[in-house]
Amino acid sequence: MPEENNENDIKQESVEITDEMISEFIREIIILEEDSLYTARANIKERIIAIAKTKVR
């Protein structure tokens, strides 16, 4: 088991922030913002944090 954990650690540490990842992130933020224009949705920053956390884990 500890060996498996180490392997996971190595895989997860190798997450690289690519241009593609950033572009996809921006697209999601724009959708959120557009949506909020019409629904007065609150907590956008929390939702952005949630997206960032899903993308990098």
Partner 1 sequence: MKLKKIVLENFRQFYGKQEINLETSDEANVIVIHGENGAGKTTILEAFSWCLYGKIDLVQSQNILNEKVFNSLSDGMSSNAKVVLLFEDRHREYLVARTVQVKKHGNIQYHTPSEQTFEVKQNGTVITSPANAIDKIMSKELKKYFFFDGERIDTLAKPESSKEIENGIKNIMGISVYEKGIKHLKEAKKILAEELKEIIPSGQTSPYEEEDSIQTELDDCKIKLKNNIKFKEDKLNEKERISDELKSILELEKHEKLKELKEKELFELNESMTKLIEKEQKLISKDAHLAISSDLVEEMNEFLEDKREKGELPSGIREQFIQDLIEKGQCICGTSLIEGDVHVEHLYSLLGKTVRKSVEDGFLKLNAFTNNSLTAGDEFVEKLTEIHEEKTKLTLKIEAARGELADIRLEMQEIAVGSSAQLISKRDSIEELIEELTEKIGAYKSKIKELDSSLESIKRAISQHQTHNRQVSIAEKRIELCQGAIYKMEETYEQLTSMVRKKLSKKVSDIFSSIIIGKNATINHNFELEITKEVNGESRRTATSTGENQVASLAFISSLVNLAKEWDEGGRSTIFTGAGTYPIVMDSPFGALDTTNRDLISKHVQALAPQVIAFVSTSQWSVEVEKNLKPFIKHQYILQYYNPDQAKFKDSQKSIVIDNTTYDLSVQSDDEYTKILKIK
Instruction: Give alpha helix (H) positions in the chain.
Output: 2-13, 19-39, 44-55
Count interface residues toward partner 1 (CB under 8 A). Answer: 30
Asked if 41 interacts with partner 1 (CB under 8 A), we say no
Asked if 13 interacts with partner 1 (CB under 8 A), we say yes
Region of 54 on the Ramachandran plot (φ > 0 left; ψ -120 to 50 alpha; else beta): alpha
Q: How far is the CB of 18 from partner 1 (least distance, A)?
A: 9
Q: How far is CA 51 from the centre of its chain?
A: 3
Residues at the site binding partner 1, with contacts judged by CB under 8 A: 9, 12-13, 15, 17, 19, 21-23, 25-26, 29-30, 32-34, 36-39, 44-46, 48-49, 52-53, 55-57
